[in-house]
């Protein structure tokens, strides 16, 4: 492509025209740490702005659909399914997202975006009670489909 | 998917990975009721904000393309065609939208969104003259393609 | 503005530069009719796609924020608050939205868009059970602020 | 489609359901003319808002992905690759974009949108130094794939 | 701001917090050249996709509202009015957009984006008849308000 | 607001109509950990997709502008300035964002969104080399303006 032009301002959305269409799937996670009291408010649905995890789930799913509009070099793709779940611990909430597609590119960015936006939505719903929440451990857990095959993150240790 | 996690904040974008790609089509309708005088202004293109139905048509078509960004659990899909038409009655405008796709999910939400946004655009263009317009009878008329086959709405009686 | 040019393709986003900034508020409503059984599924949160009204509320609030991107001639404004509530009847759900702003234009389109998107989201969540739901009675109930003062819709009879 | 309704407000997103899926590619160009001094600032990365061409490239690529949300009757499609390059002349910058897809419609609007948004982004980055820049010669250079075959613009004379 | 960090990846959305709120206005133009026959089709509204200039106007106005989402370093602002007009010549259409705001930044990018998107929409509507249209002479004509006062483009010679 | 309706599907965009307009500012941070080799590729601009940090900066700034479209209950506001900077360590990149506004609500969500999207963009640019990168320590560092005054995060220890 355009190989004879000067190399200024260089960034590209990689050409995937030749890649195979295959069923692809990615699972990502994030953790948001907060005060024990805030966990209690979430569990008992006592946050006045609304149901925290229902709101985070919808933010995360809608965020997954917006990934290519957010991440500059990311392809816009058809997402065939998104699911978000939570594990509520003593002073943190773990977020998991699974995203599926049938297409020419993987959905790891969609899964990572889903958990990130869900975590930010939790922060937003609870920030009147706790401004010192920390979002961490955003990582890809697993990825299937495509040429590179089955990837399992060696740095992920549980859930 | 993610079956071993807790069931908090539960909502999902249903997994359609296994569904067949087929040509799908949906037709929806909406009606906006208004004063006879306002109908006259629309017909004679005397509304100062511009051509009411041309604006509504474009709003509706662009709205159909935004459906998955508006309806939280709706899949983002390739829309292969949209057409919007009107039937102008004495004190109401009937709006019809037909949407087509080749894909794994139906386009009933896209057709319903198209007529809804078109109706809202008509309200916006005419609201300086009539704030008591009512939008009603938003419904699916017909749907073809996909596993569920040909659906005709038994509650729709004419047009 | 541009008064000496030809009058083709005429539509305009009305100039509100000279209007006063004031606190403005609009309340709108919509009704979605469905089978009694579907009402039961919503109340008991038995719809597998998730909590129907929580999803509709978030869709409606996010839809209010997108109004100027949906309705062609609508101004983009700062929305200072949105609230959505429901009244569940035997075979229908009534949706109410109140939107507030401090600005130069009213928020009736934002309130009408909020109830419309919330109604469409309910349709989407329940359509596997009932494709013949009808959305109707989308109207402005009340509007305060701005030059035109307090408007109460004479066609709205209850709630 | 909807052939028996009245012909008001007529505009349509053309039905491409029956068209073949094929690899398609479009190349477009734009030129932005400016003062020699401004060219110098771009080359030496002395514009305080940031790296001009890197910003323009990302704006252009993200713009290509938004094409169907900008151009009313344009289909939303999967873009499989975008590349943007520049040729810096004495008092102008030439912009080239190549866009690829595998689908039922061409990507000429995506390529034209990419160069247009890139040119506007250059204007924005440099406008503190030069408000009299002119964007011109936005045109399609070449188009392959689809029923109409290989198109080469007879009006494009080099680069 | 953040002055003690390293200077990598440098680009900024310039801080306008200290600037005055004032009424601002910008006028921009673009020209799209095409075959005489295509001009005839536009004038007689014989393009099957719909009314070309009505569609371009709505695309341009909606594009003005999306400017800050398209141009990376552009501020999101409240636009208080947009008007788009056309001058149809023998083998070209001249597009003019006037945009107004009351705010801390100018609206030249909004006016330039409006004429660019309107021109691209005209291209899209007519491309089945003429792929060799050229968009040119996109420039700012005039700008008022703000610290820099009244700007008139010395390179603009008519209309 | 709407106090007499049933409490289903409860979530609200909090009413800030009565809050004062004041200059507000928020600073947030995120860290992305990766292999030493990947840090080298970023520093030497050897990633084939483009300049990693320039891309991340633009993604982050554009992400800040999209915050209210991503976080369900977040107000849409005018952002008067965004700056993003990086500190490159041996096997991680620290990201800092400062966001400013003059308005009725704070910009902590905008600053947190900016660093999150910038971190995700870095992941996307480098994922061909390293799929086990981890994004962590997303937190608010500081916040000024508004009724709650100057907030400094006691959990942030450095930078």
Each domain of chain B, given as residue ranges in start order, spans 22-146
- How far apart are alpha carbons A80 and A78 in whole angstroms? 6
Q: Which residues of A are the active-site residues?
A: 124
Residue F46: band (very low, low, confident or very high) from pLDDT cuts 50, 70, 90: confident
Query: What CA–CA distance (Å, rounded) separates B137 from A40?
Result: 44
- Distance in angstroms between the alpha carbons of the first and the last residue of chain C: 44
What are the backbone dihedrals phi and psi of residue F92, each rounded to the nearest 5 degrees, phi first?
-160, 160
Average pLDDT over residues B120-126: 97
* Mean pLDDT within D130-134: 97
Q: What is the mean pLDDT of residues E40-62?
A: 92
Would you call D69 and B62 a contact, using CB atoms and an 8 Å cutoff? Answer: yes
CB A100 within 8 A of CB A23: yes
Chain centroid to Cα B69, Å, comes to 14
Tell me how many residue pairs between chain D and chain F have CB atoms under 8 A apart: 18
Scanning the structure block, which residue is given the tokens 């050229």? E134
Q: What pLDDT, in 10s, does the model give residues D103-118?
A: 889 999 999 999 999 9
Q: Which DSSP category does B74 fall into?
A: P
Pairing of strands B134-144, B151-152: antiparallel
Tell me which H or E stretch contains D52: helix D52-65
Taking a C-beta distance cutoff of 8 angstroms, is the pair E22, E83 a contact? no
For D58, the closest chain F residue by CA position comes to F55
Check if the beta carbon of residue E29 is closer than 8 Å to that of residue F110. no
pLDDT for res E114:
98
Q: Which of F23, F65, F81 sits opposite E14 (nearest CB)?
A: F81
Q: Which residues of E are identified as catalytic?
A: 124
Average pLDDT along chain D:
92
Token duo for residue B138 = 């938003």
Q: What is the pLDDT of residue C36?
A: 97
The stretches of C89-158 forming alpha helices (DSSP H) are 108-126
**F92 forms bridges with which residues in the sheet?**
F33
Pick from D5-19, D29-43, F144-158 the range whose average pLDDT is largest.
D29-43
The C-side interface with A (CB below 8 A) comprises: 50-51, 54-55, 57-59, 62
* 3-state secondary structure (DSSP) of residue D15: coil
Instruction: Classify the C-alpha dihedral E46-E113-E99-C14 as positive or negative.
Output: positive
Start-to-end CA distance of chain A, whole Å, equals: 44
**Cross-chain Cβ contact A55/C54 below 8 Å:** yes
Chain E residues closer than 8 Å to B59 by CB: 58
Evaluate whether the domain defined by F23-152 bears CATH number 3.30.930.10: no
Compare A36 and E104 and report the one with higher pLDDT: A36
The owner of tokens 């309340």 is C27
Q: How confident is the prediction along chain A (159 residues), in pLDDT tens digits per residue?
A: 565 555 666 789 999 988 888 899 999 999 999 999 999 999 988 888 888 999 999 999 999 999 999 999 999 999 999 999 999 999 999 999 999 998 889 999 999 999 999 999 999 999 999 999 999 999 999 999 988 789 999 999 874
**Distance of residue B133 Cα from the nearest chain D Cα, in angstroms:** 19
Residue E8 near residue E93 (C-beta atoms within 8 A): no
Taking a C-beta distance cutoff of 8 angstroms, is the pair F24, F102 a contact?
A: yes
Average pLDDT over residues C13-39: 94
Strand partners, E94: E31, E87
CB A118 within 8 A of CB A52: no
Q: Which of C52, C3, C24, C43 is nearest to C108 (CA)?
A: C24
User: How far is the C-alpha of B137 from the C-alpha of C56, rounded, in Å?
Assistant: 19
Q: Which residue has 């089978």 as its token pair?
A: C35
Which tens digits make up the pLDDT trace of E62-96?
999 999 999 999 999 999 999 999 999 999 999 99
- Please state the rounded mean pLDDT for residues B107-123: 98
**Which helix (H) or strand (E) covers residue F43, if one does?**
helix F36-43
| Chain F residue nearest residue C118, CA to CA | F9
Take residue E62 and report the two structure tokens written for it: 């909606």
pLDDT tens-place string over residues A45-79: 888 888 899 999 999 999 999 999 999 999 999 99
Among C49, C123, C136, select the one facing B12 at the smallest CB separation.
C49
Can you tell me the distance from the alpha carbon of C62 to that of C82, in angstroms, rounded to the nearest whole number? 9
| Chain D nearest CA to A151, separation (Å) | 23
User: For residue E47, what are its two tokens?
Assistant: 């393009």
pLDDT cut 70: percent of chain C above it: 94
pLDDT above 70 for F85: yes
pLDDT at D10 (0 to 100): 76
pLDDT of residue C18: 85
Positive or negative torsion for Cα F68, F71, F72, F74: negative
Q: Label each residue of chain A as H, E or C.
A: CCCCCECCCCEEECCCCCCCCEEEEEEEEEEEECCHHHHHHHHCCCCCCECHHHHHHHHHHHHHHCHHHHCCCCCCCCCCEEEEEEEECCCEEEEEEEEEEEECCCCHHHHHHHHHHHHHHHHHHHCCCCCCCEEEEEEEEEEECCCCCCEECCCCCCC
| pLDDT (tens digit per residue) in F98-115 | 999 988 899 999 999 999
Give the pLDDT score at E47.
87
Find tokens 């792929």 and name the residue: E131
How many helices (H) does chain C have, and how many strands (E)? 4, 6
Element (H, E) at D27: strand D22-33
Q: Which is the CATH superfamily of the domain at A22-144?
A: Molybdopterin cofactor biosynthesis C (MoaC) domain (3.30.70.640)
Q: What is the pLDDT of residue E83?
A: 95
C-alpha span between B98 and F42 (Å, rounded): 49
Number of H helices, E strands in chain B: 4, 6
> Which residues, including other chains, have CB under 8 Å from residue E47's CB and lie 6 or more apart?
E41, E125, E126, E129
Q: What is the pLDDT of residue D70?
A: 98
Q: How far is B65 from chain E (nearest CA, A)?
A: 14
Return the minimum-mean-pLDDT range out of B147-156, D112-121, E93-102: B147-156
Q: Report which of residues E46 and E7 the model is more confident about.
A: E46
- Would residue C137 be called left, alpha or beta, if left means φ above 0 and alpha means ψ between -120 and 50 degrees? left
Judge whether F127 and A106 are in contact, CB under 8 Å. Answer: no
What letter does residue C145 receive in the DSSP assignment? S
**Cβ–Cβ below 8 Å for F17 and C27:** no
Q: Is the dihedral of CA F109, F114, F115, F120 positive or negative?
A: positive
Q: Sign of the CA dihedral D138, E152, C15, C102?
A: positive
Of D55, D121, D155, the CB nearest to E134: D155
Q: What pLDDT, in 10s, does the model give residues D60-71? A: 999 999 999 999
Q: What is the mean pLDDT of residues D130-145?
A: 97
Phi, psi of E113 (to 5 degrees): -65, -40
What pLDDT does residue C21 have?
86
Give the per-residue pLDDT at E17. 87
Which chains sit next to D, with 3 or more Cβ pairs under 8 A? A, B, E, F
Taking an 8 Å cut-off on Cβ atoms, the answer to whether C54 and A59 are in contact is: no
> Would you list the DSSP string of F91-121?
SEEEEEEEEEEEESS--HHHHHHHHHHHHHH
Q: CA F144 to CA F12: how far, in whole Å? A: 25
Q: Is the pLDDT of residue E99 over 60?
A: yes
Dist CA F152 CA C146 (whole Å): 40
pLDDT grade, residue B81 (50/70/90)? Answer: very high
Contact indicator for D57, F59 with CB cutoff of 8 Å: no
Query: B103, B82 in Cβ contact below 8 A?
Result: no
Task: Compare D128 and F148 and report the one with higher pLDDT.
Answer: D128
Q: Is the pLDDT of residue D3 over 80?
A: no
Task: Give the pLDDT score at F18.
Answer: 85
* pLDDT score of B3 more than 60: no
Q: Which residue has the tokens 């947190």?
A: F112
Q: Residues in chain F whose beta carbon is closer than 8 A to a beta carbon of chain D?
A: 50-51, 54-55, 57-59, 62
- Among 3.30.1330.100, 3.40.50.720, 3.30.830.10, 3.30.70.640, what is the CATH number of C22-145? 3.30.70.640
**Rounded to an integer, what distance in angstroms lies between the CA atom of residue D37 and that of residue B85?**
54
What was the pLDDT predicted at F8?
Answer: 66
B2/A96 touch (CB, cutoff 8 Å), yes or no: yes
Q: Please check the confidence at residue D159 and state whether its pLDDT lies above 60.
A: no
- Quote the minimal CA–CA distance from F66 to chain C in Å: 11
Closest Cα partner for F13 from F117, F114, F104? F104
Mean pLDDT of B135-159: 90
The yes-or-no verdict on residue D5 having pLDDT over 60 is no
Would you tell me which CATH number, out of the four given (3.30.70.640, 3.10.129.10, 1.20.1050.10, 2.70.70.10), belongs to the domain B22-146? 3.30.70.640
Contact call for residues F72 and F101 (beta carbons, < 8 A): no
- Whether the pLDDT of residue F4 is over 70: the answer is no
> Which pLDDT score, from 0 to 100, does residue D47 have?
87
Burial class (CB in 10 A: 0-12, 13-18, 19+), A132: middle
Instruction: Look at residue C45 in the predicted model and tell me its pLDDT.
Output: 86
């Amino acid at each position: 492509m355009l190989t004879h032009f000067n190399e200024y301002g260089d960034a590209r959305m990689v050409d995937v025209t030749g890649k195979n269409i295959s069923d692809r799937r990615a699972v990502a996670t994030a953790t948001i740490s907060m005060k024990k009291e805030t966990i209690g408010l979430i569990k008992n649905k006592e946050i006045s702005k609304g149901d925290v995890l229902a709101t985070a789930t919808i933010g995360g799913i809608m965020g997954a659909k917006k990934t290519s509009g957010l991440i500059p070099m990311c392809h816009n793709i058809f997402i065939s399914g998104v699911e978000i779940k939570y594990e509520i611990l003593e002073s943190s909430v773990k977020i998991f997202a699974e995203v599926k597609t049938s297409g020419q590119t993987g959905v790891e960015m969609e899964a990572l975006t889903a958990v990130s936006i869900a975590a930010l939505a939790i922060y937003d719903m609870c920030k009147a009670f706790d401004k010192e929440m920390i979002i961490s451990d955003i990582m890809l857990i697993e990825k299937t489909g495509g040429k590179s095959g089955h990837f399992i993150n060696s740095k992920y240790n549980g859930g």
